[in-house]
Amino acid sequence: MIVLRLALQSLRNRWLAALLTVIAIAVSITLLLGVEKVRTGARQSFADTISGTDLIVGARSGAIQLLLYSVFRIGNATNNITWTSLQDIASRPEVAWIVPLSLGDSHRGFRVLGTTADYFTHYKYRQAHGLVFAAGKPFSDLFDAVVGADVAATLGYKVGDPIVVSHGLGAVSFVEHDDKPFRVSGILERTGTPVDRTVHVSLEAIEAIHVDWQSGGRIPGQSVTAAQVRQMDLSPKAVSAVLVGLKSRLATFRLQRAINEYAAEPLSAILPGAALQELWGLVGTAETALKVVSVMVVATALLGMVTMILTTLNERRREMAILRSVGARPRTILGLLMAEAGVLTLAGVGLGVVLLYAALMLLRPYVDATYGLHLPIEPPAPPEMTTLAFIAVAGCIAGLLPALRAYRLSLVDGMMIRT
Amino acid sequence: MVVATAKLRAETANVIRMSGVRFVWPGRDAFSLAVDAFSLPAAKRILLIGPSGSGKSTFLSLICGIIAPQTGEIDILGTDITKLAASARDGFRAEHFGIIFQIFNLLPYGTVIDNVLLPLSFAPMRRKRATTNGRAEDEAVRLLTCLGLEPHLTRGPSAANLSVGQQQRVAAARALIGSPEIIVADEPTSALDRNRQEAFLDLLFTQVSDAGATLIMVSHDETLAGRFDEVIRLETIAISGRGGRR
């Protein structure tokens, strides 16, 4: 049909403005969908921070607090678990393995985690991904340390480098365990989890650096050398938290209840998955903010389109008078302008989706390696399709504004050509 | 439309008949136009003369059915268009009118041929007539050639590069395609120099009489009067005013 062809030619005649409008819409849609992708990716990565662990046990506290200090190394344990309680749990028939965690020291801003070598086999993230050594091996000597990828990258550590652990958690510490330096025995591959930002040592090492310490300071007059400490009994007396793996998941709730009701010591057992969901609920506000911002960007792009069409309207009054004179109804002119808005929006949506997938393919390896954020490349899900359809409709409705104005102008102008 | 045609044969005398027409543009201090009685015989060449501001555009808009009067009858080819709905009037205009403006007649981004074929999209009967001897495109080329547009321009990609005189020829071809009964030309030659004016009118007249159409041309240039069958001064048939209803 000639009228439609002419409408497209009219648009082509204004190709620069039209192209910029389409690009603005496309970029806004890429942003909207990209934010959504990153959001779901982040949520997934977050939920995948720890897997394979059935229960996390710590001193009695809230689930989120326990999760924060045991998995995310944020905050502190309210209290410790005695070694006897730990052994009690380990000896229960449902329990397949336990990994004790001992926190409280730091190394140049990174947390130091005292644990056992089992940590490296039982800690899993992103479903069934285990910890892999980029270099070196787990700690075998008392003063061996295994550092996460971020620690190694930030501080430039190689296997064999000496490190000094500080007491407490500040990046700059005035109380250093400098009499008992450690040696980097291994460096872990990047995981995108807090493991990357952790220095791992053995439980005995945590005991060793604290033998001549009491209440956060050196006991005056008592000084034990590194050689002497190797001769001492370094079996741990308490830990901060315990990761527990079960033989059968069916026993999870039974054991959780048993631990929560443990008589000898007030303990809490949490399900990591449930606690992660609960924690994500807290960060949800930021999610909403991101979403609101990207919706605003789309609205701005559509407004830009309306502005573009409106500004051309005056110079196109001539075009409309010609169409009216050859018999076009005002309704036809309304339709043409709405179709124009529709075509621009659809082109923007199409280009936006193309841009999104191009960006995903280009950036995915980088994002995965740098932020540990795994972004799946999948065809648009139904909710995304709904969003896109909604935007397309919104574009047409936005087109109603200039279309109605043109309708009114064409009624007023009639056949008179105004320039 | 069959009825209209039959009626037209019955009263061949007039293509346009207006009676008791009153029109006021909406708004305060509005321009108004009143035509008590006016009729125009078929197949004539009429020159409508009126100074600017005398209501020529309003008069033409009324005849073409772009606007509807508040009262009165406007009978075109046997159909009272004031009784038609707005969209039916648009369809009626597409079928029975060919309109040439003073300047800026063409959609600059369209091809010459597309510009000529534009009315056929809105007028099935004109399309039928334009395609009796072949494709509508060929009819467009024939008209353009008859109107003296150089062949290489006829097939040109865009109407934007044409001179004003060439644009007016394309506009005339658009008005004539599919042989509408009435050709309305609103000062079509005012942007042309004297020689081109004469040449354009010669070609236009030939084509209009070939089609057996009625030509109503508006101008303020009285020197053209000798070339028309009849000269009508707008002020003799219409009373214009400003400032609300009378």
Domain boundary assignment for chain A: 2-46+284-413, 55-270
Residue A163 in this model has a pLDDT that exceeds 80 = yes
Instruction: Nearest by CB to B119, from A319, A326, A415: name it.
Output: A326
Amino acid found at A163: I
State how beta strands A95-107 and A241-246 pair: antiparallel
pLDDT digits (tens, 9 = 90+) for B74-95: 888 888 888 888 888 889 999 9
pLDDT digits (tens, 9 = 90+) for A340-363: 888 999 999 999 999 999 999 998
Residue A231 in this model has a pLDDT that exceeds 90 = no
Yes or no, beta carbons of A2 and B120 under 8 Å apart: yes
CA-based nearest residue in chain B for residue A11: B109
CA distance B59 to chain A (A): 11
Does B52 touch chain A if contact means CB atoms closer than 8 Å?
Answer: no
Q: What is the pLDDT of residue A246?
A: 92
Total domains present in chain B? 1
Q: Are A24 and A348 in contact (CB under 8 A)?
A: yes
Beta bridge partners of B75: B17, B80
Amino acid found at B21: V
Mean pLDDT of A269-282: 87
Task: Report which listed range, A48-52, A76-80, A296-300, is most confident.
Answer: A296-300
Distance CA A342, CA A395 (A): 6
Q: Are A41 and A56 in contact (CB under 8 A)?
A: no
Q: What is the pLDDT of residue B7?
A: 45
pLDDT digits (tens, 9 = 90+) for B122-145: 888 899 888 888 888 888 888 888
- Alpha helical stretches, state H, B11-147: 56-64, 86-96, 112-117, 124-130, 136-146
Other beta carbons within 10 angstroms of residue A279's beta carbon come to 19
Mean pLDDT of B152-179: 84
Q: What is the pLDDT of residue A419?
A: 44
Does B66 touch chain A if contact means CB atoms closer than 8 Å?
Answer: yes
- The residue that leads in pLDDT, A222 or B214, is B214
Yes or no, beta carbons of A327 and B101 under 8 Å apart: no
Least confident of A219-223, B12-16, B177-181: A219-223
End-to-end CA separation in angstroms for chain B? 36
pLDDT digits (tens, 9 = 90+) for A186-208: 999 888 888 988 999 998 888 88
Residue B1 in this model has a pLDDT that exceeds 50 = no
* Domain housing B157: 2-242
Chain B residues 166-225 with CB within 8 Å of chain A: 174, 186
Residue A215 in this model has a pLDDT that exceeds 60 = no
Report the CATH number at residue B140. 3.40.50.300
Yes or no, beta carbons of B93 and A6 under 8 Å apart: no
Least confident of A122-126, B25-29, B45-49: B25-29
Q: What is the pLDDT of residue B28?
A: 63
pLDDT digits (tens, 9 = 90+) for A373-390: 778 788 888 888 898 999
Does A9 touch chain B if contact means CB atoms closer than 8 Å?
Answer: yes
Distance CA A399, CA A403 (A): 6
Share of chain B above pLDDT 70, in %: 92
Chain A residues with CB under 8 Å of B103 CB are 417
Residue A171 in this model has a pLDDT that exceeds 60 = no
The overall average pLDDT reported for chain B is: 83
Chain A residues with CB under 8 Å of B119 CB are 326-327
pLDDT digits (tens, 9 = 90+) for A91-107: 999 999 999 999 888 88
Distance CA A145, CA A147 (A): 6
Quickly state the pLDDT bin for A55 (edges 50, 70, 90).
very high
Q: What is the pLDDT of residue A352?
A: 94
Does B94 touch chain A if contact means CB atoms closer than 8 Å?
Answer: yes
Q: Of B193, B183, B246, which Cα lies nearest the Cα of B215?
A: B183
Does A325 touch chain B if contact means CB atoms closer than 8 Å?
Answer: yes
Instruction: Nearest by CB to A13, from B95, B109, B120: name it.
Output: B109
Whole-angstrom CA distances from A101 to A51, A83, A118 are: 16, 12, 11
CA-based nearest residue in chain B for residue A416: B57
Mean pLDDT of A255-274: 90
Instruction: Nearest by CB to A415, from B66, B86, B118: name it.
Output: B66
Quickly state the pLDDT bin for B244 (edges 50, 70, 90).
very low
Q: What is the pLDDT of residue A200?
A: 93
pLDDT digits (tens, 9 = 90+) for B189-198: 877 788 888 8
Whole-angstrom CA distances from A285 to A90, A290, A373 are: 39, 9, 20
Q: Of A290, A269, A244, A256, which Cα lies nearest the Cα of A43?
A: A290
Residue A179 in this model has a pLDDT that exceeds 80 = no
Yes or no, beta carbons of B106 and A322 under 8 Å apart: yes
Q: What is the pLDDT of residue A351?
A: 95
Q: What is the pLDDT of residue A168?
A: 60
Instruction: Nearest by CB to A415, from B61, B109, B118: name it.
Output: B61
Q: What is the pLDDT of residue A218?
A: 58
Does A60 touch chain B if contact means CB atoms closer than 8 Å?
Answer: no
Does B64 touch chain A if contact means CB atoms closer than 8 Å?
Answer: yes
Quickly state the pLDDT bin for B2 (edges 50, 70, 90).
very low
Distance CA B176, CA B154 (A): 16
